[in-house]
Amino acid sequence: MEQFARENLTEWKRILAYWEKYSPDYQRGGFHGQVNYDNQPVLDAPRSIILVSRILWTFSLAYRHFHRRRYLVLADRAYHYLYNHFRDAKNGGVYWSVTAAGAPLETRKQLYGHAFAIYGLSEYYAASKFTPALDFAQELFKTVDKHGYDVDMGGYFEAFGPSWEPVDDLILSKMPWNKSQNTHLHIIEAFTNLYRVWPDPTLRQRVVHLIDAFMEKLVSQKTYRLRLFFNQNWSPKDETVSYGHDIEASWLLWETAEVLNDHERSEKVKQLCIKMAEAACSGLGEDGALDYEFDPATNHHNRERSWWVLAEQMVGFYNAYQLTGEEHYKDKSLKSWEFIKKYVLDTQKGDWYGTVKPDLTPVRNAKISFWKCPYHNSRACYEIVRRLEK
C-alpha cells in the first residue's frame, strides 16, 4: 500500500506537470480550448466552462497540498479568466462556452457547468483566501437556486436559455428529460465543497435535500444503480447503466455525508454507497476495468475503457474497502491502478489516453478538449494519497 500511495503521488505530479506545460495560452490569455494528440494547440477551439473550472479546481487543490507557488499562479489565471470571460453580468450565471478569443459563444445556462464553476471557485477560495472568489461562488449558488431549484418536485432542472427562460433543447438531453443524475451528482459535489468554506444554513438544506433525493429518487432501490435521465416528476427515461457514474457516486455521496456530520443520515448513506459499489462490480471485465455502459433494453454493452471511469473506480473501490473492510474491494482498487499503469498512462505524449478500446489499444484523441480535463485523474491520485496518508 505504501507503493500504491507513492506511485499515485508521482503520477499526480506528472499530470500537473503536463497541464502546466501545455494548457496555458500565453498569447490570448486563459487556457487552450483544445490540444491535439501531438500536444499542439487547436487555436480556434472554443473554451468550455467545464475545462476552465476543472483547471481552477485542480491547481487550487494542488497548491493546498504541495504549497508550491506555481500551482497558485495557474489557479489565479483560471479564476481571472473564468470571472472575466464566463460570468454573465447581465443575466447572472456563467456561459457554457466562449470563443478562442474569449467572447461569449454558447450562452445557455447549463447547471452542470454552474456546478463545476462553484466547485472550482470554492476550492480556489480554500487555497487563496481571496474573498471575491467566495463572493462569486455564493452568487452562483444563489442564482442556481433561484432559477434551477424545482420547488414543486425537488431537485434541479438541467438547463435554461441565456436569460434563464425555459428551453426544449438542454444540450446534454432533450425535453421532457429535464433532470439528470449527472448534473445532480456534480451539483451535490459542488455544494458540498462550498459548504466546507461557507457553512450557510440554506446551502446545508439544499445539500441535505440532494442527498435524500439520491437515496429516494436517483438511485434505483431495486438495482442500486443510478438512472440517467428523468422528467420533472422523477420518472426515469430508461434503465441504461453508466458504471462510471455509479462507482463515482458511491464515494462522492459518502464524502457529502461526512461533511454534513449527521450520524443518522450518514448510516443510511453508508449502506447505500456500499450497495452501489457492489452493484458496479457487475460491470468489471477480467482485466479489472469497468465497461463504459450497458443498455438492458437492447442488451448492448459498451466495453470501451474510459480514462475517467478508471480513475473513479480506483477511488470508489478503495472507498468501499474503507467502509466495509472487505479485502476484495481493496484488490479491485489496486487492479484498477495496474490497468491504468499498463494501458491508460501515455508515457510518450503525457497525461492519459482518453479511451482504450476493448482490444486494449489506445485511441489517440485530443489531450485537452471541451471535456478532457485534469479533474478525474488528478483527483483520483490525490484521493488515494490522502486516504493512505491517514
pTM, entire model: 0.97
Q: Cell for 272?
A: 447505500
* Cβ-based neighbours of 244, under 8 Å, separated by 6 or more: 290, 292, 306, 308, 309, 312, 313
Q: Cell for 340?
A: 491504468
Q: How far apart are CA 343 and CA 31, in angstroms?
A: 28
Q: Which of 77, 85, 94, 208 is nearest to 141 (CA)?
A: 94
What length does the chain have?
A: 390
For every one of its 390 residues, what pLDDT tens digit does the chain have, with 9 covering 90 and above?
999 999 999 999 999 999 999 999 999 999 999 999 999 999 999 999 999 999 999 999 999 999 999 999 999 999 999 999 999 999 999 999 999 999 999 999 999 999 999 999 999 999 999 999 999 999 999 999 999 999 999 999 999 999 999 999 888 899 999 999 999 999 999 999 999 999 999 999 999 999 999 999 999 999 999 999 999 999 999 999 999 999 999 999 999 999 999 999 999 999 999 999 999 999 999 999 999 999 999 999 999 999 999 999 999 999 999 999 999 999 999 999 999 999 999 999 999 999 999 999 999 999 999 999 999 999 999 999 999 987
HSE at residue 208, side-chain half, CA atoms within 13 A, is 13
CATH class of the domain whose range is 2-389: mainly alpha
